[in-house]
Amino acid sequence: MNRTVLLIIFLTSTTLFAQKTCEYSTNITDSIGTYKVTKEFMVYEKKFAGNSSYIFFSLALTDGTPTLNLQHIKKSKDFMKANCFDKDSKLFLQLNNGKIVTLLHIDQENCGSLLRDNEGYDNRVLSGIFMFVKGSMEDLKSSPVNLMRIKYLTDIEDYVMQKEFKSEMNNEVYHPETYFMENLRCIEK
């Protein structure tokens, strides 16, 4: 009887506390080194008056160096200003516990690409790679993120990180506030 009760408790606790598995878009190890990238995850979506804006995160580990890949997509029939990343660009993440974590952009200037689709919309796609500073990953694993500030070359923009939202683009439910808490373990050494 005791063994049965212990087995039930064990199985229940492992099910309750099981972490979701890490999903990778790329996972390569060869003679040059290792490179793995998590699947893209939408952390921000805004649709208003025919304009759309999306921000996606993915985490990468390149030969033991963790980075955050950010992709910002804007879609509009109106004029869109170009935001650029440069060596001085930063990503600030305000945590629920009051701390602010800063990620530094790699030393590479990028103003994105402008693509026109078949429906007459201009699509601006901007990608950036940000490095974690010492101690930042531990802070991000311990507290949800409630605000993201991106310092571009010539502008600063703030984005509220929601606890949960259902995307109008793909009808999936996302939890951006806890993205780092749930996914940083996927790129730990």
Encode pLDDT of 28-86 as tens digits.
Answer: 888 888 899 999 999 999 999 889 999 999 999 998 999 999 999 999 988 888 899 99
pLDDT at 31: 85
Q: Pick the more confident residue, 5 or 179.
A: 179
What's the whole-number mean pLDDT along residues 139-143?
96
Residue 41 sits at φ, ψ, to 5 deg, of -135, 125
Domain boundaries, the chain: 22-187
Encode pLDDT of 95-136 as tens digits.
Answer: 999 999 999 999 889 999 999 989 888 999 999 999 999 989
For the entire predicted model, the pTM comes to 0.86
148 pLDDT higher than 60:
yes
> Distance between CA 36 and CA 25 in Å, rounded?
8
- 137 to 8, 51, 67, 78: CA distances (angstroms): 35, 34, 10, 38
Residue with tokens 């999936």: 172
Asked if residue 122 lies in contact with residue 80, where contact means CB atoms within 8 angstroms, the answer is yes
Query: Would you place residue 4 in the very low, low, confident or very high pLDDT band (cuts 50, 70, 90)?
Result: low
pLDDT at 2: 52
pLDDT at 19: 66
- Write out the two tokens for 35: 């490179």
pLDDT at 10: 46
**Cα–Cα nearest to 179, from 108, 78, 91, 51:** 91
